Structure 1
Amino acid sequence: MQWRNSSSRYGVISILMHWLVAVTVFGLFGLGFWMVDLDYYSSVYTVAPMVHKSIGILLFVAMLLRLTWRWISPPPGHLQSHGRMTQLATTWGHAFLYIGLFVLMIAGYLISTADGRGISVFGWFEVPATLTSIPDQEDWAGLVHEYLAWAIVIFAGLHGLAALKHHFIDRDSTLKRMLGRE
């Protein structure tokens, strides 16, 4: 298997980044969904948010690396069998996922740093609070974070269903390319 993308195939780095981000996003969603119902006396009341924030910061770094890799090694072109509407939907769908994830993570950062404290990433390093003067910052960033998280997870689910449709109904190589089999 090749490391870099070619005009017809994804390379191993793009494939690994894709699946790492996908698993991380769904994992963070599940953790976030679970932890909002924790009460003060729960044994993981402070641990769960710390893990969520730390992984979120690492995901932000991974997404920056993914964008850089996308620039260094552009993804393969659209399949010839895809019509113009499918190509547009693919382009706009991927743009929504990329932009949506960055907005989601920035909103999470704004929630976490609204009180002026930085975010410790597993005790390895701290991301400082740089923007704390927005009125009701924690509240509006929280709403953006919550609704966008739902939108991204639902859209990513549709993205996965579309890949399955391409594989089982259209019988094209869309899914195989992202699994490194084509």
Structure 2
Amino acid sequence: MLKNSSHQYGTVAIVLHWLMAAAIVFLFALGLYMVELTYYDAWYKGSLDLHKSIGISVFLLLLARVAWRFFNVVPEPIHSEQPSAKVLASVAHYVHLLLYALMFLIVLTGFLISTADGRAIDVFGVLSIPALPFSIEQQEDVAGEIHFWLAWSLMTLIAVHALGAFKHHFFDKDRTLLRMVNIKQNKWE
């Protein structure tokens, strides 16, 4: 099943979710590694180029994911009988919105860092993303500081998101997590 249903995520949503999750965690780890390198390290330029290329690729996946979500039904939350369930479902909704906002802002600040000198971003030698025709004073430093804190905020929110999924699975014993890992509909229903 490619498309979502009211009870299950489809293959496209699941693949986009996990592909982006893996890429974002990799980008974060690579970013932590990169900031420890000096200009004379052998992999200094290669790590920067890889980070930029994967970052742009994640942005393209994010656009696809948002479009897919917009044109597809979103499975309804699984409600428990607890009174706090409605509040937690509302919190989860805003966490998802914040995750999307952080991803967009991280890409924007990464773009501003990478193009501060007016050069385009080369994406795996296949695509070139041009710089803005203007720059802001200390653009690379300001955008770099914001990028750093947004990345840590995103990773923190991802951890909260994962803990919420584990709570559903291990404590509430519902299908919330299984819907995002199970490609076959109704296998556990």
TM-score (norm 2): 0.92
Residue of structure 2 in register with 1:164 after alignment: 166
The 1-side partners of 2:27 and 2:163 are apart by 20
Residue of structure 1 in register with 2:102 after alignment: 100
Query: 1:20-169, aligned counterparts within 5 Å?
Result: 20-81=19-80, 83-130=85-132, 132-169=134-171
> What is the Cα deviation at residue 133 of structure 1?
2.1
The one-letter amino acid paired with 1:14 is A
Cα deviation code 1:32-55 (max 9, x no counterpart): 000111112211010000000000
The 2-side partners of 1:88 and 1:117 are apart by 43
Aligned length: 181
Q: Does 1:175 align with 2:169?
A: no
Runs (4 or more) in structure 1 with deviation over 6 Å come to none
In structure 2, runs of 5+ residues without a counterpart are none
> What is the Cα deviation at residue 131 of structure 1?
5.0
TM-score (norm 1): 0.96
Mean Cα deviation higher: 68-77 or 49-58: 68-77
The 2-side partners of 1:31 and 1:122 are apart by 16
Give the secondary structure class of the aligned counterpart of 2:177.
Answer: helix
Cα deviation code 1:40-74 (max 9, x no counterpart): 22110100000000000011111000011001113
Q: CA RMSD in A?
A: 1.2
Alpha-carbon contact 1:115-1:132 (below 8 Å) kept: no
> What is the Cα deviation at residue 155 of structure 1?
1.1
